[in-house]
Amino acid sequence: MTGMGELWSQLGSLMASIMFVYAMYEQFFPHHLRVYAKKYTKRFTGLMYPYIQINFPECSGERLKRSEAYTAIRTYLSANSSQKAQRLKAEVDQGRQDSVVLSMDDNEEITDEFHGVKLWWSANYTLPRTQSFSFYPSSEEKRFLTLTFHRRHRDLITTSYIQHVLKRGRAIAVDNRKLKLYTNNPSNDWYGWKRTKWSHVNFEHPSRFETLAMDPKKKEEILSDLERFKNGEKYYAKVGKAWKRGYLLHGPPGTGKSSMIAAMANYMNYDVYDLELTAVKENTELRKLLIETSSKSIIVIEDIDCSLDLTGQRKKKKKEKEEDDEGEKKKNPVKKAEEEEKKESKVTLSGLLNFIDGIWSACGGERIIIFTTNFVEKLDPALIRRGRMDKHIEMSYCGYEAFKVLAKNYLEVDSHTLFPTIEKLMGETNISPADVAENLMPKSVNEDPEICLKSLIESLEEAKKKAEEEAERKAKEDEEARLKEENGKKELEKGEATGKSGEEVKENGSVH
């Protein structure tokens, strides 16, 4: 026992001596000499240590965005960590609040195997050595994943294994991810701690192509076009075009333009970015929003004809205050900031065109851009030409084939004795799919399909009657205008025959 006590005493003295020497080294040894000492020490240990380590930091780049490689590797490891790691970290699934996602905890290590080669993954973090104060603090912990392997397998790991992990991690993320619906925040909310350009909610719209009320041939054409785009990465690279496609959805209100967008997102498994142009102050902000969108996404601008005056020719507003008030604004920075916030958007047609197919539109791939409008004739031809809006889809009034889809969806009927009557009326009048769906939707548990179909027939007959009355009224107005024009011409001719000018005839009250 005495020998063991002496051994522990000597070991303690040795450790204390080492700590003392290290403290003196840190305190008095010049910094530039310490750098050289550390450099050559690593070289020496590298000769003796046969393993190589690769770190994958969580954040990278000047803007400290989360690394895509880190995210993909973490997803790959999460799929295996619940079976191999002893200490796990549980996080609530953002898509499903009743489930958790398990991943390995900090300073935990798991093993992996690739082509018979054993590797080790560990989750680590470091804390900053200096403390600093900031109004917009960032996370103090710097997290990273470390891959360790034997140096003899360097080529296999760097050329094949890492690519395998990234590809597998991205595939798992696509299979497990929940679609999101984004909207752009006002520019004054872009800066500061945890501020973002886009905010989002889970996208849970149930619309599918099977439930869309439209002509089956047109539906199949759209599906084929989407499928070609989805698998067209190599083709777009071959022809030298950015991997994106533009769709213009136009037609009367209630014809299913928003439902079409939701069906596209669900079919392609793409996130949706609903861009509100009136919240964008200028073209540079529009480009920043584009940069922040992800691949595999749909960028939507609804009712683009109403969003902004895109001609660049805005009417000048009258001055609301006198010049002394303007001087007060310059002196008062708070009032000036408020005025800037109220200022209208300066996004121009040129800026929007560059957003769609300019140089910046190529920063990322696999994007769909969709414009919707009720009045396509109001849009600038340069905005909707082929190459920008590649495919124009007219969302028209409800036809008989589209009605049968709605009848199947709402009433679960494929045929009925009232179908021929409905087919005849639909050929004689225009009605939107939204109006048809409203009539087919049962209003109580006692309504059967026949009652709903009769309600639709009544609406069709009423719409037909209104259309006929409107046509008669318009024809009457046109006839009255024609007769008035003819009478005016006759009076002018009569005035010329009597030697009076047209102005004299008008003054004498001859023209009515």
Residue 371: which residues within 8 A CB-CB, separation 6 or more?
Answer: 246, 247, 248, 249, 301, 304, 379, 383, 384, 389
244-250/391-394 β-pairing: parallel
Residue 88 to residue 105: CA distance in whole angstroms: 5
For the chain, the structural domain boundaries read 22-127+140-177, 181-311+342-394, 400-480
Q: What is the mean pLDDT of the chain?
A: 80
> What local confidence, expressed as pLDDT, does residue 43 receive?
67
Question: Do residues 122 and 109 make contact, with C-beta atoms less than 8 angstroms apart?
Answer: yes
Average pLDDT over residues 357-374: 84
DSSP 8-62: HHHHHHHHHHHHHHHHHHHHHS-HHHHHHHHHHHHHHHHHH--EEEEEEESEETT
Residue 3 has pLDDT above 50, yes or no: yes
Tokens encoding 287 = 């480009």
- Rounded-to-10 torsion of CA 360, 363, 366, 368: -30
Q: At 503, is the secondary structure helix, strand, or coil?
A: helix
> What local confidence, expressed as pLDDT, does residue 64 receive?
53
> What local confidence, expressed as pLDDT, does residue 510 receive?
47
Residue 335 to residue 267: CA distance in whole angstroms: 49
Burial class (CB in 10 A: 0-12, 13-18, 19+), 228: exposed
pLDDT > 70 fraction of the chain, expressed in percent and rounded: 76
Question: Do residues 408 and 414 make contact, with C-beta atoms less than 8 angstroms apart?
Answer: yes
β partners of residue 119: 112
Q: Which fold has domain 181-311+342-394?
A: Rossmann fold (3.40.50)
> What local confidence, expressed as pLDDT, does residue 84 receive?
67
Q: What are phi and psi of 398, to 5 degrees?
A: -70, 125
pTM exceeding 0.85: no
Average pLDDT over residues 177-205: 81
> What local confidence, expressed as pLDDT, does residue 281 receive?
85
> What local confidence, expressed as pLDDT, does residue 318 receive?
40
Residue 360 has pLDDT above 70, yes or no: yes
Tokens encoding 225 = 């076009």
Residue 57 to residue 179: CA distance in whole angstroms: 26
- Rounded-to-10 torsion of CA 224, 227, 229, 231: -140
Average pLDDT over residues 322-348: 55
Tokens encoding 250 = 């136009």
> What local confidence, expressed as pLDDT, does residue 143 receive?
84
Average pLDDT over residues 132-148: 67
> What local confidence, expressed as pLDDT, does residue 69 receive?
87
Residue 512 has pLDDT above 50, yes or no: no
- Quick: pLDDT tens for 300-311: 999 988 876 654
- Quick: pLDDT tens for 371-421: 999 988 888 888 888 888 999 999 999 999 999 999 999 999 999 999 999
Question: Do residues 369 and 356 make contact, with C-beta atoms less than 8 angstroms apart?
Answer: yes
Residue 353 to residue 291: CA distance in whole angstroms: 15
Residue 250 to residue 235: CA distance in whole angstroms: 28
Residue 431 to residue 254: CA distance in whole angstroms: 9
Residue 494 has pLDDT above 80, yes or no: no
Which helix H or strand E contains 248, and what residues bound it?
strand 244-250
Tokens encoding 281 = 């102050």
> What local confidence, expressed as pLDDT, does residue 153 receive?
92
Question: In terms of pLDDT, which residue wins out, 5 or 312?
Answer: 5
> What local confidence, expressed as pLDDT, does residue 344 receive?
64
59-60/65-66 β-pairing: antiparallel
DSSP 424-458: HHHTTS---HHHHHHHHS-SSTT--HHHHHHHHHH
> What local confidence, expressed as pLDDT, does residue 315 receive?
41
> What local confidence, expressed as pLDDT, does residue 310 receive?
54
- Rounded-to-10 torsion of CA 440, 443, 444, 449: -10
- Quick: pLDDT tens for 211-252: 998 888 999 999 999 999 999 999 998 998 889 999 999 999
Residue 422: which residues within 8 A CB-CB, separation 6 or more?
Answer: 400, 403, 453, 456, 457, 460
> What local confidence, expressed as pLDDT, does residue 313 receive?
40
> What local confidence, expressed as pLDDT, does residue 265 receive?
95
70 pLDDT band, cuts 50/70/90, is confident
In terms of phi and psi (left: phi > 0; alpha: psi -120 to 50; beta: otherwise), the region of 509 is left
Least confident range from 188-202, 263-277, 454-468: namely: 188-202
Least confident range from 19-28, 273-282, 350-359: namely: 19-28
Residue 106 to residue 165: CA distance in whole angstroms: 20
The CA R_g of the chain, rounded to the nearest whole Å, is: 35
Residue 193 has pLDDT above 90, yes or no: no
Least confident range from 111-120, 136-145, 366-375: namely: 136-145
pLDDT > 90 fraction of the chain, expressed in percent and rounded: 31
Tokens encoding 153 = 């397998």
Question: In terms of pLDDT, which residue wins out, 359 or 46?
Answer: 359
> What local confidence, expressed as pLDDT, does residue 506 receive?
47
Residue 469 to residue 326: CA distance in whole angstroms: 56
> What local confidence, expressed as pLDDT, does residue 135 receive?
47
Which helix H or strand E contains 461, and what residues bound it?
helix 449-497
Residue 497 to residue 337: CA distance in whole angstroms: 70
131 pLDDT band, cuts 50/70/90, is low
> What local confidence, expressed as pLDDT, does residue 311 receive?
44
Amino acid code (one letter) for 39 = K
